[in-house]
Amino acid sequence: MQPEWWAWIVGGILLMLSELAITSFYIIWFGLGALLVGLLMLLMPDISLTVQVAVWTLASLTMVVLWFRVFKQSRHKTLVGTAGGEVLGEIGLLVGAVAPFERGKVRFQRPVLGSEEWVCLADAAIAAGERVKVVAIEGSYLKVSKT
């Protein structure tokens, strides 16, 4: 017994609706794969069950891989130590004085990691209004030194 085209469509819609309850954002791709098989069955009704399942699996896995590897670029990665090459060496203006065990604030002309202003740390005291350079990233703070 082979499933009809509408069974794939109903199954796809149910999978996509289950995504609303589970919110893992990968079940939706299996639902879209089922919709694709349903539409394919509507155009070519005598496809075997093996081909239907193969097309569903291939389409679903392809969409999952495309979503997580190509389209969904991770923007918020944790940068520790000297990672984050484009941030290191950036020059900013210190708007809040910084001392060895006190935090300060640095402002950049263009956003760095999505923000124009960052809390910073330094090994030596630096007065507000000085130009500083980013030398490292420590957790959610930028470590700066006088230029």
Please check whether residue 127 is in contact with residue 97, taking contact to mean a CB–CB distance below 8 angstroms. Answer: yes
| Helix (H), strand (E) at residue 13 | helix 5-22
> Buried b vs exposed e over 14-34: b needs ≥16 C-beta within 10 Å?
ebbeebeeeeeeebbbbbbbb
d(CA 10, CA 76): 36
pLDDT tens per residue, range 103-143: 999 999 988 888 889 999 999 999 999 999 999 988 889 99
- Assigned CATH topology for domain 91-146: OB fold (Dihydrolipoamide Acetyltransferase, E2P) (2.40.50)
pLDDT attached to residue 88: 87
pLDDT tens per residue, range 8-24: 999 999 999 999 888 77
Find the mean pLDDT for residues 56-68: 92
**DSSP of 78-93:** ---BT--TTTTT-EEE
Please check whether residue 27 is in contact with residue 63, taking contact to mean a CB–CB distance below 8 angstroms. Answer: no
The segment(s) of the chain belonging to CATH 2.40.50.140 are 91-146
Residue 81 has pLDDT above 60, yes or no: no
